[in-house]
Amino acid sequence: MSGLLKGLQGVGKFLKLLLTSSMGRVGIVIFAIFAFIAIFAPYLHTVDPIKFGLPGNQLLPPNTEFWFGTDRLGRDIWSQTLYGTRVALIVGFTAAATTVSIGTLVGLIAGYFGGKLEEVLMRIVDFFLMLPYLPLMIVLAAILGPSIWNIVLVISITYWPFTARVIRSQVLSIKERTFVEASRSVGASDRLLIFSEIMPNVVPLMFAEAVLMVTWAIYAEAVLSFLGLGDPTTVSWGWIVNRAFNSGVIRDFLWWVIPPITCIAATILAFTFLGTAVSDIMKPGYREARGL
Amino acid sequence: MALKGFAGFVIGKISAAVLTIFAIVCFNFVLFRLVPGDPARLLFGDPRAGPKRIAEMRELFGLTGSLWEQFVAYLRQLFLHGDLGFSFVHRVPVMEVIVDKVPQTILLIVTGLIIAVVLGTMLGAIAGWKTGTKFDSIIITVSLGFYSIPAFITGIILMMIFSFGLGLFPIGGMTTMGSAYTGWAYVGDVAWHMALPAGAIVIWYIGEYVILTRSAMQDVLGQDYITLARAKGIKESAILRRHALRNAILPVVTITGINLAFAVAGVIEAETVFRWPGVGRLLYESVMSRDYPVLQGLFLIFAVAIVLANLGVDLIYGYIDPRIKVGGGQ
C-alpha cells in the first residue's frame, strides 16, 4: 500500500500548508472548537436535550441554570445546541466520505476506461448535475422518510456527480503521463494502475472535494431539518430552528433561535474558509508566491 | 453533426434539452414509485382509509394496472393534457395549484437576481481593480460569507433586525391582511412585503457575482489592450469603464442561467421563512401535508425550468460568441 502512504504524506504536507493562509487558520480554529464541543458535549453542563423539562421551566430566558434558556417544552437550549454539534459534524463527515468515495470511484472508472463506459457514466453525471439540488433533496427526504441516515443518503445521491466530474477530468490528464504508460508497458493490471498509480495523484483533489462536501452536507442537513424533513428524534441545529420558528412565539423569545443559527453560520463559514484556503494551495505557484 | 453553423448548433441544443426533459419526466415517475409500501396509501395520506376508498384513489392518481401501463398513462396525461395529477389537499388538479403560485416566485427571483447582478458586478469590478488592497480583502471575505450562509439563516437574521427589532418591515406574506389596496398603493404594499425576502435572496446570490467579476476583472487587467490603453495615457477611470468592465461582465452574466439551481434553493428558503405565496412556499407546505402529487409536479416544474433556462443561455451565448457560429456544433 505504498500508494496510500504516499497519499497520506500528501495530506500531511497539505495540512501544514493550510496553516500558512489566514483563512485556513480561522477555519481550523473554528472547526477545532466545534470538534471539542462535539466530543465533550456530555461533560459541558448539559442534560438530556430532548427530555421535557419540569412544569414552570418553559420558555425561560437565559439564566445560571439554563445558559441559553429553555424552549416551549422546558428543554435546555444550551444542551440542544451542544448535542446539535454532534449531528452536524457526523452528518457532514459521513456524507462527505460517501459522496467523495462514490464520486471518486465513478470518476476513476470513467476517466481510466474511456469509451462507451465513460460516455454512459458521464451522461448520468450530467443528468444529475442538471437537476435542482434542493428540490431533489427535499423530494428524496420526503419519500425515504425522516432519519439521520436517510439524510446522509439523500446528500450522497445529490452531490456525488459534482465530485465524479472533477475527478474524471483530473484522471484524464494523469493517465497520459509517462509513469502510467511505463507501468502499463510492464503488464500492470487495470486495477493496479487505477488504485496504485492514478489514485494517489488525485488524493489532494479528493481532500479538497471532501472539504467542500462537508460544507454542503452541513448546509443540506440544516436546511432539510429546518424544513421539517430531519430526524424528529435527533436534535440538530436545523431541528431547533424549525421548532423555534414554528412555535409562533419567536418574536418574544429570540434566544431560542440565536444559538442554532449562529452555529450553522459559523460551521459553514469555517468550512468555506478552509475550502478557499485549500483551493488556493492547489493553484500552481502558491508556494513560490509565499516563499515556501 | 449533419447541419453546419448556427442552425445546426440550435437544433443540437434543442434536441439535447428535449431529451433531458424526457429523462427528467421518466426519473420523476420512477422516483415516486420507489416509495416503500403501497404508493396509493402514501398518496392518499390516510392510513385508516378503507379498501373501497383506496381503490378510488388508485383510479384518481393513475395507480391502476401494471407499472408499464401506469407509465404510459402518466406520459399520455402529461404530454397530451398537461395533467400533473390531482392534489388531495387542495382538491384541485396539481397544475392549477402550481400555476397559481408561479408569478409570485418569478417576481421575487427576478427582483433579487437583478439587484444582485448589478450590485455584485459593480462591487466585484472595484475589488478586482483594487486587488490586494484592504477594500478588496474585506469585500472578498464578506462575499464568501454571504455566498455560503444559507438563505433561511440570512432571512431569519433580517427578520430579527428589521421586523422584530426596528419594526420597519412585515414578518411575512405578500400583502397586508384584510387590505384592499388597488393601483400604486397595492404595488407599494407588495414591494414593502417583498423587501426582506428579496433582501435574503440578494445576499444569497451577490457573493458569487462579486467573486466571479473580481476574477474576470483580474484576467482582463492582465491583457495587452489594457496595457496599451495605459501606455496611451488614457485616464484610469475611462479604462475601467470602457475597456475592463465591458470585457469582464460578459462571462459573469452568462452564468446566471447555469446557476439557476442555486437560485431555486435560495427562493425556496426565503419563501418559507417569509411565507411568500410562491412555489417555494408551496413546496414546503406540500412536504408538511405530505401532498405527494404536488411534490412530484413541483419537482418536474423546477427541473424543466432549469433545463429551459440553460437552453436559453446556451442559445444566447452561441449567438453572441462568433466562434460557435462559425465552427458549429460544439
Task: Write out chain B's pLDDT in tens, 330 residues.
Answer: 445 677 888 888 899 899 999 999 999 888 877 766 566 666 555 666 677 777 777 776 667 777 788 888 888 888 887 777 778 788 888 888 999 999 999 999 999 988 998 899 889 988 888 888 888 889 988 998 888 899 999 999 999 899 888 988 888 888 887 777 888 888 888 888 898 999 999 999 898 889 888 888 888 887 888 888 888 888 888 887 777 777 777 777 666 655 777 889 999 999 999 999 999 999 999 988 888 889 989 999 999 998 998 888 888 777 766 555 444 443
Residues 168-227 on B with a CB inside 8 Å of A are: 171
B251-310 pLDDT tens trace: 776 666 557 778 899 999 999 999 999 999 999 999 888 888 899 899 999 999 989 988
> Could you tell me if B258 lies within 8 Å of chain A, comparing CB atoms?
no
Per-residue model confidence (pLDDT) at position B329: 41
CB A179 within 8 A of CB A6: no
CB B15 within 8 A of CB B2: no
Closest Cβ–Cβ partner in A131, A257, A268 for B149 = A268
Amino acid type, B42: L
> Could you tell me if B145 lies within 8 Å of chain A, comparing CB atoms?
yes
Nearest CA to CA, how far is B183 from chain A (Å)?
Answer: 32
Nearest CA to CA, how far is B291 from chain A (Å)?
Answer: 10
Per-residue model confidence (pLDDT) at position A286: 67
> Which residues in chain A have Cβ-Cβ distances shorter than 8 Å to B295?
138-139, 142
Per-residue model confidence (pLDDT) at position B157: 92
Nearest CA to CA, how far is B146 from chain A (Å)?
Answer: 9
> Which residues in chain B have Cβ-Cβ distances shorter than 8 Å to A145?
36
Could B144 and A133 be called an inter-chain contact, meaning their C-beta atoms sit closer than 8 Å?
Answer: no
Burial label for B46, CB within 10 Å (0-12, 13-18, 19+), is exposed
Alpha-helix residue ranges (DSSP H) falling in chain B: 5-31, 39-44, 51-60, 67-81, 94-99, 102-129, 134-148, 151-158, 183-221, 224-231, 236-238, 246-258, 260-273, 279-288, 292-320, 322-327
Return the ∠ at Cα A191 (arms to A189 and A192), rounded to 5°.
65
CB B209 within 8 A of CB B114: no
Per-residue model confidence (pLDDT) at position A71: 79
CB A69 within 8 A of CB A253: yes
Nearest CA to CA, how far is A194 from chain B (Å)?
Answer: 30
> Could you tell me if A135 lies within 8 Å of chain B, comparing CB atoms?
yes
Q: How far is CA B174 from CA B104, B167, B177, in A?
A: 9, 17, 9
Per-residue model confidence (pLDDT) at position A151: 94
Interface test mutation site (partner B, options A125, A130, A219, max chain B beta carbons within 10 A): A130
> Which of A134-148, A157-171, A242-256 is least confident?
A242-256
Q: How far is Cα A127 from Cα A9, in angstroms, rounded to an integer?
A: 36
CB B66 within 8 A of CB B54: no
Q: Hey, what's the cell of B161?
A: 433586525
- A227 to chain B: nearest residue by CA? B284
Closest Cβ–Cβ partner in B27, B149, B265 for A269 = B149
ipTM of the complex: 0.87
Tell me the CA end-to-end span of chain A in Å, nearest whole number. Answer: 29
Per-residue model confidence (pLDDT) at position A58: 78
> Could you tell me if A269 lies within 8 Å of chain B, comparing CB atoms?
yes
> Which residues in chain B have Cβ-Cβ distances shorter than 8 Å to A143?
31-32, 34-35
Closest Cβ–Cβ partner in A127, A215, A223 for B23 = A127
Per-residue model confidence (pLDDT) at position B253: 66
Closest Cβ–Cβ partner in B32, B153, B298 for A135 = B298
Q: How far is CA B222 from CA A130, B132, B152, B153, B248, in A?
A: 34, 15, 39, 38, 12
Per-residue model confidence (pLDDT) at position B39: 61
Closest Cβ–Cβ partner in A138, A222, A264 for B287 = A138
Interface test mutation site (partner A, options B156, B211, B296, B300, max chain A beta carbons within 10 A): B156
When pLDDT is cut at 50, 70 and 90, the band that residue A287 belongs to is low
The yes-or-no verdict on residue A122 having pLDDT over 90 is yes
Closest Cβ–Cβ partner in A135, A143, A222 for B302 = A135
> Which residues in chain A have Cβ-Cβ distances shorter than 8 Å to B141?
23
Interface test mutation site (partner A, options B13, B34, B153, max chain A beta carbons within 10 A): B153
- A and B: number of Cβ contacts within 8 A: 106
A186-242 pLDDT tens trace: 877 888 888 888 888 888 889 889 999 999 999 999 999 999 998 888 899 999 999
